[in-house]
Amino acid sequence: MIATPPSRSAHLEKVLIAGGGIGGLATALALARRGIASTVLERRLLFGEDGAGIQIGPNGTRILEMLGAASALKPRVTAPDALRILDAATARPLGTFPLGRWIAERHGAPYWVAHRRDLHNALLVAAEREPLIRLRMGFDVTVVEEMGDTVTAVSSAADEARGDALIAADGAWSILRRDAFAAGTPVYTGKCAVRVVLPIEEVPEALNRTEVHLWLGPDVHVVHYPVSAGHGVALVAVFDDRQVAADWSAPCDRAWVMARTTGFAPLLQDLLAKPEHWRRWSLMRLARRPRVAVGRTALLGDAAHPVLPFLAQGGVMALEDAVVVADALATDPGDPAHALAAYARRREARVRRVAQASRMNGVIFHLSGRMAAARNMVLARTPPERFMRRYDWLYGWTPPQSE
Ligand SMILES: Cc1cc2nc3c(=O)[nH]c(=O)nc-3n(C[C@H](O)[C@H](O)[C@H](O)COP(=O)(O)OP(=O)(O)OC[C@H]3O[C@@H](n4cnc5c(N)ncnc54)[C@H](O)[C@@H]3O)c2cc1C
């Protein structure tokens, strides 16, 4: 009897990942944990992750621990004691809700705040140590072709990479989503986020604590928390804005921001007056949800579902996607298209719920008049732990059992 060699599709040799951001690197690490090799194709020549702060709930820190990235990040984070909500006009406290030890004990994983660059760097350090992961910098994926059992990614310089499947983790402005998934371009929400990281010394003492601060006002909210091992404070303000910024990181000056702070409490105005230069980021949404998996190609992270930053979960959703797609491919390595369809199904309800909760927060944060007064009364009257228990469904998410 002549032994036939196993068909190529019976074994997953290599997965291509377009985009080496938070989702792309996490996917490569999650695949490596399951013994699957990957090549990450990143369009930038060098990683210089700017960005500002990122909040990483227990559903995210649990995954970072699993992927071997938590230990590198830990010295650079703060585990804030609480979420403190204030009225932007009066600086009146509206409520203080437990994070810190309370949330870590409740969910078995901490709540961290960090500089986005430190999170990316921790994932990168872990990926560079992993022999099953190859990083190709300066590779901007422009075309993806599927033929038989092979997916080919082609760059604008006509470089090619081949694999058994491709995960498109190329961010909120995903070219691949537009082309391969015919999903259209993002639509502007009418809101923008301005952001900056300040040295801690520049933050008024009254605010200089290990807490996440959330200031609420009509059509505006401001968030700040410590980053870079407590040496900096990430500051984000979300305003209504008619003008779409042309890129992620449009420069924006102090005068632009201060013109929008009329009526703010002096403490908040003083804080917002500190930075001379900000970055402005227009908040976009997709008019309709794309198909997440098509054949041997699937979308992941912001490419699949750019969520608005009102629940601080966009990056964490990319981490969750990463462990689920790796689990799906490891469970069904002989049929990547089937595995990717299963991944898309497994993420659908979760991502939709997070996106809805985030949108709802956006509405609640920006209320005015009587509706804002009613919101403030609910915040004042709800016992803090009961308030936080409402988010058990969010922070209590655990990765697939087979992990
Ligand atoms: C103001 C603001 C605050 C936020 N705060 C939080 C928060 O507190 N917590 C949280 O969890 N999330 C937060 N987010 C969201 C979070 O930053 C994103 O959800 C997260 O970065 C998504 O990761 P990603 O890997 O999908 O995309 P990205 O991190 O954007 O990575 C995409 C990568 O793909 C590369 N790329 C793009 N096109 C190509 C191509 N054609 N070929 C090859 N490479 C390509 C890019 O260079 C980049 O490296 C916030 C977002 C905003 C706007």
Residue 150 lies in a domain: yes
| Number of domains, the chain | 1
Ligand 1 in reach of 279 Cβ (< 6 A): no
Ligand 1 in reach of 42 Cβ (< 6 A): yes
- Which CATH number is 33's domain given? 3.50.50.60
Alpha-carbon distances, residue 188 vs 210, 352, 362, 363, 364 (angstroms): 34, 19, 15, 16, 20
* Residue 72 pLDDT greater than 80, yes or no: yes
Centre of ligand 1 to C-alpha 60, Å, is 15
The residue written with tokens 């004042």 in the block is: 380
Residue 203 lies in a domain: no
What is the structure's pLDDT at 8?
Answer: 40
Alpha-carbon distances, residue 265 vs 87, 92, 178, 289 (angstroms): 8, 9, 43, 40
Helices 100-107 and 58-67, axial angle in degrees (round to 10): 60
Residue 175 lies in a domain: yes
What is the structure's pLDDT at 49?
Answer: 59
pLDDT, mean over the chain: 92
Catalytic residue among 111, 188, 225, 343: 225
Centre of ligand 1 to C-alpha 324, Å, is 18
What is the structure's pLDDT at 246?
Answer: 64
Q: Whose CA is nearest to atom 19 of ligand 1?
A: 314
Residue 264 lies in a domain: no
Lowest mean pLDDT among 134-143, 195-204, 237-246, 341-350: 237-246
Residue 17 lies in a domain: yes
CB atoms under 10 Å from CB of 201, counted, come to: 9
* Residue 9 pLDDT greater than 70, yes or no: no
Residue 381, SS3 per DSSP:
helix
Average pLDDT on 13-18 reads 96
- Sorting pLDDT into bands at 50, 70 and 90, what band is 4? very low
Ligand 1 in reach of 20 Cβ (< 6 A): yes
Residue 30 lies in a domain: yes
| Segment 228-244, tens digit of pLDDT | 999 999 999 999 988 88
Q: Is 277 exposed, middle or buried (0-12, 13-18, 19+ CB in 10 A)?
A: exposed
Q: Which residue has the higher pLDDT, 291 or 26?
A: 26
What is the atom index within ligand 1 of the atom nearest the CA of 316? 11
Q: Which residue type sits at 21?
A: G
Q: Do residues 27 and 17 touch, judged by C-beta distance below 8 A?
A: yes
Centre of ligand 1 to C-alpha 18, Å, is 13
Ligand 1 in reach of 140 Cβ (< 6 A): yes
What is the structure's pLDDT at 13?
Answer: 87
What is the atom index within ligand 1 of the atom nearest the CA of 54? 8
Domain span including residue 15: 8-77+115-185+287-363
Q: Alpha-carbon distance 99 to 385, whole Å?
A: 10
Residue 95 lies in a domain: no
Q: Is 132 exposed, middle or buried (0-12, 13-18, 19+ CB in 10 A)?
A: middle
| Segment 173-206, tens digit of pLDDT | 898 888 777 777 788 899 999 999 999 999 988 8
CB atoms under 10 Å from CB of 394, counted, come to: 18
Average pLDDT on 57-66 reads 98
Ligand 1 in reach of 318 Cβ (< 6 A): yes
Centre of ligand 1 to C-alpha 3, Å, is 48
Q: What is the percent of the chain where pLDDT is above 90?
A: 80
* Residue 381 pLDDT greater than 80, yes or no: yes
- Sorting pLDDT into bands at 50, 70 and 90, what band is 7? very low
Q: Alpha-carbon distance 194 to 291, whole Å?
A: 31
Alpha-carbon distances, residue 364 vs 85, 172, 284, 382 (angstroms): 13, 24, 19, 16
* Residue 327 pLDDT greater than 60, yes or no: yes
Average pLDDT on 107-119 reads 97
Least Cα distance to 31 among 334, 330, 331 occurs for 330
Residue 369 lies in a domain: no
Ligand 1 in reach of 55 Cβ (< 6 A): yes
Global model pTM greater than 0.85 = yes
Q: Is 343 a catalytic residue?
A: no
What is the structure's pLDDT at 5?
Answer: 40
Ligand 1 pocket test, pick from 54, 167, 248 with the greatest ligand atom count within 8 Å of Cβ, gives: 54
- H helices within 241-313, ranges in order? 254-258, 266-273
The residue written with tokens 């970055």 in the block is: 279
Alpha-carbon distances, residue 25 vs 123, 316, 340 (angstroms): 6, 13, 18
Ligand 1 in reach of 171 Cβ (< 6 A): yes
Centre of ligand 1 to C-alpha 169, Å, is 9
What is the atom index within ligand 1 of the atom nearest the CA of 26? 25
What is the structure's pLDDT at 269?
Answer: 96
* Residue 23 pLDDT greater than 70, yes or no: yes
Least Cα distance to 99 among 354, 323, 312 occurs for 312
